[in-house]
């Protein structure tokens, strides 16, 4: 199955809100929520995509030849590539009823683990979602990262107990989910956390804790002070706050201040191995890609996800080769061009 075939099949399987565009750039779905779009006027997802494209890569083939190794060590584990599947929740609402959160997570976690990378799973108001995600991660001997919503401390504690049955590599929290329309006025409550509240949560977490949804130096500082092992520089694909900057625009400053102190991940509009390379050159240790994994899975289940992973991996290896990096640790700032 090649990627064009995956997309063609996805167009038959997806509901009406995602068009499985040749390039997932936020334009066709724009402000479609429910659906895969973004909040408000819907230009944050577009800006995420466009700003990666505004960065260019510097070719340098006057280097020693030799094989390229795109593997990476993160959270004490070895992964085939520095990109992972980002969490996506409520898939049947946003992408159509061919899959639900249970079946989606089961397949994405399995297919990613088989191909040497991690999948993050999402959370929802239905407690069965996290139970099924835990089972899916357990079947892959902990190769997966559950992402818990910012519920109150008591609920988070019970979710920790549940997901720890799978011994996951790490646990994440999408701290920016405070901005999701469907989480407003929920029982149990979910929303913003003070640094002290976040610290109390992290102190209870038995594995590395990842704070997803950091867009400023101030936010990174608070996550660091609360004891986070990692952050995801993310604006939730534009779904939580209209008119944010793109992640490509804020990543470098955050990485300069916190690289080596916390693992720095980034997501939002990363659509090729070339984009992955650019994110690493700006200081990220790894990246998440979310929407295209959904399209790949709707278009071919395990085979669709495998095809997509291979496509991004091939592009990354090619870019490393052409820019003179044999290993991920050799990707440096001068290998990219910014205006
Ligand atoms: C339909 C949809 C559902 C999402 N659900 C979650 C979720 O449950 N938890 C989470 O942390 N992020 C969620 N996200 C955000 C993604 O993980 C990711 O941060 C965002 O989409 C940006 O990456 P992308 O541009 O590669 O899609 C969701 C995104 C979409 C489009």
pLDDT at 171: 98
Q: Is the CB of 88 under 6 A from ligand 1?
A: yes
In terms of C-beta density within 10 A (0-12 exposed, 13-18 middle, 19 or more buried), how is residue 31 classed? middle
Could you write out the three-class secondary structure of 55-106?
CEECCCCCCCCCCCECCEEECCEEECCCEEECCCCCHHHHHCCCCCHHHHHH
**Total Cβ atoms within 10 A of residue 62:** 6
Q: Is 2 in a helix, a strand, or coil?
A: coil
24 inside domain = no
31 inside domain = no
pLDDT digits (tens, 9 = 90+) for 87-133: 999 999 999 999 999 999 999 999 999 999 999 999 988 889 999 99
pLDDT at 186: 73
Q: Is the CB of 219 under 6 A from ligand 1?
A: no
Of 235, 232, 219, nearest to 266 by C-alpha is 232
As a whole number, mean pLDDT of residues 277-299 equals: 98
Relative orientation angle of helices 291-298 and 3-13, to the nearest 10 degrees: 80
| Best residue among 27, 215, 239 to mutate for probing ligand 1, ranked by most atoms within 8 Å of CB | 239
DSSP code for 243: T
Helix, strand, coil percentages in the chain from 3-state DSSP, rounded to 5: 45, 15, 40
pLDDT at 182 over 80: no
Q: Is the CB of 255 under 6 A from ligand 1?
A: no
CA dihedral over 129, 134, 135, 136, signed as positive or negative: positive
Residue 166 — pLDDT band, cuts 50, 70, 90? very high
30 inside domain = no
pLDDT at 94: 96
**Total Cβ atoms within 10 A of residue 318:** 14
pLDDT at 191: 86
Name the residue range of residue 235's domain. Answer: 3-18+36-337
Centre of ligand 1 from the C-alpha of residue 178, in Å: 14
> What residue's CA is closest to ligand 1, atom 3?
88
Centre of ligand 1 from the C-alpha of residue 291, in Å: 7
DSSP code for 205: -
Ligand 1 atom nearest to 49, measured from its CA: 25
How many structural domains are present in the chain?
1
Let me know the angle formed at the C-alpha of 122 by 90 and 315, rounded to the nearest 5 degrees.
100
| Cβ contacts of 326 within 8 Å, gap of 6 or more | 64, 66, 67, 68, 69, 320
Ligand 1 atom nearest to 269, measured from its CA: 25
Let me know the angle formed at the C-alpha of 20 by 18 and 23, rounded to the nearest 5 degrees.
120
pLDDT digits (tens, 9 = 90+) for 289-335: 999 999 999 999 999 999 999 999 999 999 999 999 999 999 999 99
23 inside domain = no
User: Of all residues in the chain, what percent carry a pLDDT higher than 70?
Assistant: 99
pLDDT at 335: 98
Q: Is the CB of 291 under 6 A from ligand 1?
A: yes
CATH label of the domain that carries residue 221:
3.20.20.70
Rounded distance between C-alpha atoms, residue 102 and residue 99, angstroms: 8
Q: What are phi and psi of 254, to 5 degrees?
A: -65, -45
pLDDT at 184 over 80: no
pLDDT digits (tens, 9 = 90+) for 211-223: 999 999 999 999 9
Centre of ligand 1 from the C-alpha of residue 62, in Å: 40
Ligand 1 atom nearest to 174, measured from its CA: 11
pLDDT at 180: 77
Partners of 288 in beta bridges:
84
Q: Is the CB of 179 under 6 A from ligand 1?
A: no
pLDDT digits (tens, 9 = 90+) for 45-79: 999 999 999 999 999 999 998 999 999 999 999 99
Q: Number of H helices and number of E strands within the chain? A: 12, 12
């Amino acid at each position: 199955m090649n990627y064009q075939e995956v997309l063609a099949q996805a167009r038959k399987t997806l509901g009406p809100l995602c068009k499985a565009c040749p390039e997932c750039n936020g334009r066709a779905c724009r402000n479609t929520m429910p659906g895969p779009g973004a909040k408000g006027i819907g230009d944050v997802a577009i800006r995420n995509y466009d700003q990666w494209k505004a960065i260019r890569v510097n070719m340098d083939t006057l280097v020693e030849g030799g094989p390229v190794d795109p593997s990476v060590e993160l959270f004490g584990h070895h992964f085939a590539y520095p990109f992972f599947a980002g969490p996506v929740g409520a898939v049947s609402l946003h992408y159509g009823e061919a899959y639900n959160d249970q079946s989606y997570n089961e397949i994405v976690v399995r297919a990613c683990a088989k191909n040497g990378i991690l999948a993050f799973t999402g959370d929802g108001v239905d407690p069965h979602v996290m139970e099924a995600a835990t089972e899916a991660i357990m079947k892959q001997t902990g190769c997966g990262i559950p992402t818990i919503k910012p519920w109150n401390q008591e609920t988070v504690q019970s979710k920790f107990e549940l997901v720890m049955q799978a011994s996951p590599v790490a646990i994440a929290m999408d701290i920016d989910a405070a901005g999701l329309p469907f989480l407003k006025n929920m029982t149990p409550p979910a929303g913003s956390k003070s640094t002290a509240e976040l610290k109390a949560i992290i102190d209870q977490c038995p594995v590395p804790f990842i704070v997803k949804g950091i867009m400023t130096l101030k936010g990174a500082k608070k996550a660091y002070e609360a004891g986070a092992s990692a952050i995801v520089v993310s604006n939730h694909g534009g779904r939580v706050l209209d008119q944010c900057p793109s992640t490509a625009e804020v990543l470098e400053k955050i990485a300069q201040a916190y690289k080596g102190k916390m693992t720095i991940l980034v997501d939002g509009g990363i659509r090729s191995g070339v984009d992955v390379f650019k994110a690493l050159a700006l200081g990220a240790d790894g990246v998440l890609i979310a929407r295209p994994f959904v399209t790949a899975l709707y278009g071919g289940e395990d085979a669709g996800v495998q095809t997509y992973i291979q496509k991004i991996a091939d592009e990354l290896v090619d870019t490393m080769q052409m820019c003179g990096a044999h290993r991920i640790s050799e990707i440096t700032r001068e290998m990219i061009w910014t205006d």
